[in-house]
């Protein structure tokens, strides 16, 4: 949900990239909701991730249709001096927007139309801006209303959690191990301490001495690696400030295998650097992947997939919002979470997903044949962890399957892959690699 990866784009422009990113985000959130979990949303992303605003609107509208008012799939993580509500967080962020180097992803006009002296900077001020289109206004307001009624997640941050500047200093002080590591060191040293404000990597104009950030870093590919590394470090710091949430780290979408591999290495180096910074033993990253495959023109197909996939959500929310002692949905979640071994977990997962598939397909006229979502999950069971996997049908208009899998991970989601099935000669449109990071609960 990182805001810099889900920016607002001109709606008149080609938005295949935005559609794919939203499909990825929608799929990950859907899986989490199916497993009966909540999604923790840091306040900066709740404010500034245009993709989150759009996807959250889909889920929250479905929840409202189902009259499941007690079900809250998203919960804010609030932090900072004087921040006691999401509206307080919005005011703090808007105050930062007075800084000339502030780059808003959801509301880029903040830099073009700064607040006037005497303006009271709050959510009401933002929603009343004449430059704000109706779509963004409505999506943001839905998120704002949802979080206005909720208390924040009960975070447990470590008092000695590392910071982005400290992690960057520690990284450049160590010798390189491998080509990507060496390139990152050179680029980060060349870019200098300005990296502490990561949004500046995406600002137009010269970085230093008339040169762009890409020119200083050594080229567009090198800058992409730096962005991947710094973004992952930043998100690790944010996750550490929450302290209780399992976090899925994903690379930027990429179409070139070599560049994708470099991005993954940069991401893994960042995760390892954060673990070193908090004093925990680095863990080996899982081999995980997110992929989108499609044949021919994909814009309309992906949009129909995303839009139609939400048609069955009200039935799902109706059961999520029902009495947990009686709801078949919650009985299924309980069976998965209390499984005593891998075989029992597999059986409980398959039964739960079969039930959820029926809910998602109940209210749509679309056919279910040859259209599935597959789940591979690392679940905690008695005596340790177990790898289980299953599949169920879901109504979509394109023959696309979403697959989640990966190595055995404790109580975590593996990875997500969306691909066209049953077709030869398909071409990969874009891919991203992911890994799951468990919080250090000491």
Report residue 330's pLDDT band, with 50, 70 and 90 as the boundaries: very high
What is the total residue count of the chain?
Answer: 442
Report residue 177's pLDDT band, with 50, 70 and 90 as the boundaries: confident
In DSSP notation, 106-134 reads: S-THHHHSPPPTT---SHHHHHT-TTS-H
pTM summary value: 0.80
Question: In the predicted model, what is the mean pLDDT of residues 369-394?
Answer: 42
- Contact partners, residue 209, CB within 8 Å, separation at least 6: none
265 or 100, greater pLDDT: 265
Per cent of the chain over pLDDT 90 is 30
| Listed residue (383, 387, 379) closest to 337, CA to CA | 379
Locus of tokens 């930043």: 234
Residues 362 and 315: beta-carbon distance below 8 Å: yes
Report the pLDDT value the prediction gives residue 122, as an integer from 0 to 100: 92
Whole-number average pLDDT of the chain: 75
272 or 349, greater pLDDT: 272
Report the pLDDT value the prediction gives residue 281, as an integer from 0 to 100: 63
In DSSP notation, 47-89 reads: HH-HHHHHHHHHHHHHHHHTT-TT---EEEE--STT--SHHHH
Give Cα 89 to chain centroid, integer Å. Answer: 20
Q: What is the C-alpha separation between 256 and 209, in angstroms, rounded?
A: 31
149 pLDDT more than 90: no
Report residue 20's pLDDT band, with 50, 70 and 90 as the boundaries: low
Report the pLDDT value the prediction gives residue 358, as an integer from 0 to 100: 76
Of 5-19, 232-246, 417-431, minimum mean pLDDT range: 417-431
Report the pLDDT value the prediction gives residue 91, as an integer from 0 to 100: 92
Q: What is the C-alpha separation between 215 and 308, in angstroms, rounded?
A: 43
Per cent of the chain over pLDDT 70 is 70
Longest distance between any two alpha carbons in the chain, whole Å: 67
Report the pLDDT value the prediction gives residue 432, as an integer from 0 to 100: 58
375 pLDDT more than 60: no
Of 22-31, 142-151, 319-328, 404-413, minimum mean pLDDT range: 404-413
424 pLDDT more than 50: no
Q: What is the C-alpha separation between 279 and 273, in angstroms, rounded?
A: 10
C-alpha to C-alpha distances, 184 to 28, 149, 175, 252, nearest whole angstrom? 29, 43, 11, 16
Q: How far apart are the first and last CA of the chain?
A: 26
327 or 249, greater pLDDT: 327
Beta bridge partners of 247: 437
Burial (CB count <10 Å: 0-12, 13-18, 19+), residue 178 = exposed
Of 10-14, 69-73, 370-374, minimum mean pLDDT range: 370-374
């Amino acid at each position: 949900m990182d805001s810099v990866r889900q920016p607002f784009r001109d709606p008149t422009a080609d938005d295949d990239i935005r559609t794919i990113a939203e499909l990825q985000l929608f799929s990950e959130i859907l899986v989490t909701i199916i497993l009966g979990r909540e999604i923790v949303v840091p306040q900066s992303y709740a404010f500034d991730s245009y993709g989150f605003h759009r996807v959250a609107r889909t889920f929250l509208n479905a929840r409202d249709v189902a009259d499941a008012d007690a079900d809250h799939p998203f919960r804010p993580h609030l932090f900072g001096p004087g921040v006691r509500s999401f509206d307080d967080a919005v005011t703090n962020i808007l105050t930062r927007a007075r800084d000339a180097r502030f780059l808003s992803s959801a509301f880029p006009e903040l830099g073009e139309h700064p607040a006037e002296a005497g303006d009271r900077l709050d959510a009401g001020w933002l929603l009343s801006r004449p430059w704000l289109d109706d779509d963004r206004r409505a999506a943001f307001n839905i998120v704002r209303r949802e979080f206005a009624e909720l208390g924040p997640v009960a975070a447990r941050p470590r008092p000695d959690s590392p910071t982005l500047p400290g992690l960057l200093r520690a990284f450049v002080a160590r010798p390189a191990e491998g080509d990507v590591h060496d390139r990152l060191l050179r680029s980060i040293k060349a870019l200098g301490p300005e990296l502490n404000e990561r949004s500046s990597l995406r600002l137009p104009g010269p970085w230093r001495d008339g040169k762009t950030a890409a020119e200083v870093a050594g080229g567009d590919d090198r800058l992409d690696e730096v962005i991947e590394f710094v973004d992952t470090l930043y998100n690790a710091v944010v996750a550490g400030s929450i302290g209780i949430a399992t976090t899925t780290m994903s690379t930027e979408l990429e179409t070139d295998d070599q560049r994708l591999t470099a991005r993954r290495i940069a991401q893994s180096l960042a995760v390892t650097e954060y673990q070193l910074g908090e004093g925990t033993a680095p863990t080996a990253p899982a081999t995980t992947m997110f992929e989108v495959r499609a044949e021919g023109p994909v814009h309309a197909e992906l949009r129909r997939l995303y839009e139609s996939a939400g048609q069955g959500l009200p039935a799902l929310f109706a059961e999520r919002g029902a009495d947990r002692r009686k709801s078949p949905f919650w009985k299924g979640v309980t069976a998965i979470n209390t499984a005593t071994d891998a075989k029992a977990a597999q059986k409980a997962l398959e039964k739960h997903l079969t039930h959820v598939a029926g809910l998602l397909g109940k209210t749509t006229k679309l056919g279910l044949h040859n259209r599935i979502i597959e789940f591979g999950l690392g679940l905690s069971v008695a005596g340790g962890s177990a790898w289980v996997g299953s599949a169920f049908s879901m109504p979509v208009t394109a023959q696309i399957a979403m697959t989640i899998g990966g190595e055995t991970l404790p109580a975590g989601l593996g990875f997500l892959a969306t691909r066209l099935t049953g077709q030869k000669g398909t071409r990969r449109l874009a891919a991203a690699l992911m890994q799951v990071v468990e919080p250090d609960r000491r």
